[in-house]
Structure 1
Amino acid sequence: MNLTKLNIIIIGSVLMILLAACGEETTKSADKEEATENKTIEMGQINWAENIAVTNMWKVILEEKGYNVNFNLLDMGTTMAALAGDELDIALEVWLPVQDQHYYKQYKDKVNFSESVWYENAKVGLVVPTYMEDINSIEDLNANKKLFEGEITGFDPGAGTMTVTEEMIKEYGLDYELLPSSEPAMLEEIKQAVKNEEPIVAPLWSPHRIFSEVELKYLEDPKKVFGGVEKIHYVTRQGFSDDYEEVSGWFKNWKMDDDAIGTLMTSVNNAEKPIEGARKWVKENQDLVDQWIK
Structure 2
Amino acid sequence: MNLIALKQRTKTVLSLTALTGVVMLSACGAEEGSGEEGTSDSEEKPTITLGEVPYDQALPLLAIIESIAEELGYPTEIMEGDVGVMYTGIARGDVDVYADMWLPTLHASYLDQYEDSIELLGTLYENADTGWAVPEYMEDINSIEDLKGNEDMFDYEVVGIEPGAGMMPVSEEVIEEYDLDLELVSASTEAMLAEVSRLTANEEPVVFLAWRPHSMFQLFDIKMLDDPNDIWEKDDVVTGVGADFEEKAPDLHGFLEDFEISIEDVEEMMVSMEDEELDDLADEWIEDNREDVDEWLES
5+ long unaligned stretches in structure 1: 1-25
When Rg is computed on C-alpha atoms for both structures, the one with the higher figure is 1
Query: Partner of 1:143 in structure 2?
Result: 149
Query: Cα–Cα, structure 1 residues 37 and 89, in superposed 2: closer, same or farther, change >3 Å?
Result: farther
Q: SS state of the match for residue 138, structure 2?
A: coil
What is the root-mean-square deviation of aligned Cα atoms in Å? 2.0
User: Given the alignment of the two structures, is residue 119 of structure 1 paired with residue 115 of structure 2, yes or no?
Assistant: no
Partner of 1:191: 197
Change in CA separation of 1:207 and 1:66 when aligned onto 2, cut-off 3 Å: same
Aligned-residue offset at 1:270: 2.6
TM-score with structure 2 length normalisation? 0.82
Give the structure 1 partner of residue 259 of structure 2: 254
Please say if residues 161 and 192 of structure 2, whose CA atoms lie closer than 8 Å, have aligned partners that are also in contact. yes
Deviation at 1:37, TM superposition (A): 5.7
Paired with 1:137 and 1:37, the residues of 2 have a C-alpha distance of: 56
Q: Cα deviation per residue 1:226-278 (whole Å; 9 max; x = unaligned)?
A: 12x2100111111111211111110011111233223332333331x432332
Q: Is the 8 A contact 2:134 2:223 kept in 1?
A: yes
How does 1:87-106 map onto structure 2 within 5 Å? 87-106=94-113
Runs of 4+ in 1 over 6 A off after TM superposition: none
Q: 2:139 aligns with which of 123, 133, 142?
A: 133
Identity %: 32
Matches for 1:20-31 after TM superposition, within 5 Å: 29=38
- Residue 215 of structure 1 corresponds to 221
Quote the Cα distance in structure 1 between the aligned partners of 2:95 and 2:44. Answer: 15
Q: Would the alpha carbon gap of residues 37 and 149 (structure 1) be closer, same or farther in structure 2, given more than 3 Å must change?
A: farther
Structure number with the higher helix fraction is 1
| Structure 1 residues 85-113: Cα deviation after superposition (integer angstroms, max 9, x where no partner) | 11111100111111111112111122223
Change (3 A) 1:124 1:134: same
- The letter of the residue matching 2:148 is N
- 1:57 — aligned with what? 64
Per-residue CA shift, 1:36-88, capped at 9, x if unaligned?
26431001001111111211121122212211121111101111111111111
2:92 is aligned with 1:85 = yes
How many residues align? The count is 263
What is the 5 A alignment of 1:149-228?
149-227=155-233
